[in-house]
Amino acid sequence: MTIKTGFLCDESYFWHDTGNGALFLPPGGWIEADEHGESPKSKRRVKNLLERSGFIHELRVMTPRAATREEIELNHIPAYVDKVKQLSDTTGGDAGELAIVGRGSYEIALLSAGGAITSVDAVMDGKVQNVYALTRPPGHHAEKEKGIGFCLFNNAAVAARYAQEKYRLKRIMILDWDVHHGNGTESAFYYDPNVMFVSIHQEFNFPPDRGAAEDIGEKAGKGYNVNIPLPAGTGNAGYLYALEQAVGPIADQFKPELVIVSAGQDASVFDPLGQMIVTAEGYGKMTSVVMDIAERHCEGRLVVCHEGGYSPAYVPFCTLRIIESLSGLQSKVKEDPFYEAIKGLPSNVLAEHQIEAVKQVVNIHSQNVLY
């Protein structure tokens, strides 16, 4: 049997050093030193669970290459790339708001963006049908000229620009389901009608002034930027409703040639930086909907790049369900070990205010979409 799903990772990703702190703040004042929220733990434990369960043997394990500087500069200005390298080569520091550069982080960030590029090559060349890229540092907040929110280089944006240049793709869809708005990716393609950017996120979370439903792109890109801000407390039902009622129909009009997902598992019920209640099962179902979109329009070509997710205990199970859906196979981990603790939550209840949030987006784009 041909293995259709790739899994990309590298030990170097876990060596990107965000130092200590508490959640997203550095220590000092009344903040006692603790493990930083964007530590490698949740990502490393994804790989550990794949290996412990043996499911990794059902996947085509892939090795990333480093992105070249020229590839990074498809999305970032040279002065910013210089800044990240200078910090990485010396004492480390912030490359922007909460964008920590550790010693050696420049080379790791090149490898992270390169992992997204490697994944694009794999699906475009037909080596695999889809890929889960467990990349770190994350990327979707990173703007062209600065880092933001744990992100240094925008992995998904670099990969999309690369796909445009190498494969001459005219219609790429980037779906971002991280609980935080993908501001950097939005900025990268706000005027570009060849990239449909869709962000499903918790309203007013981070950045608090980005991600409004009314922000639909400008000039040639008008209608090609889709923000779906959902209220706190949204679970599986709300996310699936957004995907089926808004994202699917928009994708059917756009007809992407490649789908890239910025996969943040921080909308999960246990995440400390979000207030959503998506379960591991919910992430598996969300993936199935996105796979259907890719199968309808681009022969299933789908690249999923890891972004946020800050519950080391639960992110591995959410990610496992995503990878199971991508592969069409089931692992030995048949039950969510946290199910008993969360079964009473309304994760599978679709609330009226969640419906209204999605309907607002649908109405806006029914009037403005030009494709």
* Catalytic residue ranges: 141
**How many Å from the N-terminal Cα to the C-terminal Cα in the chain?**
39
DSSP at 128: -
Strands 5-8 and 130-133, by their bridges, are parallel
| DSSP 8-class letter at 153 | S
Question: SS in 3 state form for 222-265?
Answer: CCCEEEEEECCCCEHHHHHHHHHHHHHHHHHHHCCCEEEEEECH
Q: What is the DSSP string of 274-309?
A: ---BB-HHHHHHHHHHHHHHHHHHSTT-EEEEE---
For the stretch 22-26, contacts whose Cβ atoms lie closer than 8 Å and that sit 24 or more positions apart, written own/partner, are 23/272, 23/273, 23/310, 24/98, 24/149, 24/150, 24/273
Helix (H) or strand (E) holding 97: strand 96-97
How many residues are present in the chain? 371
Closest CA to 261 of 316, 185, 209: 185
CA distance 73 to 340: 48
C-alpha span between 130 and 124 (Å, rounded) = 9
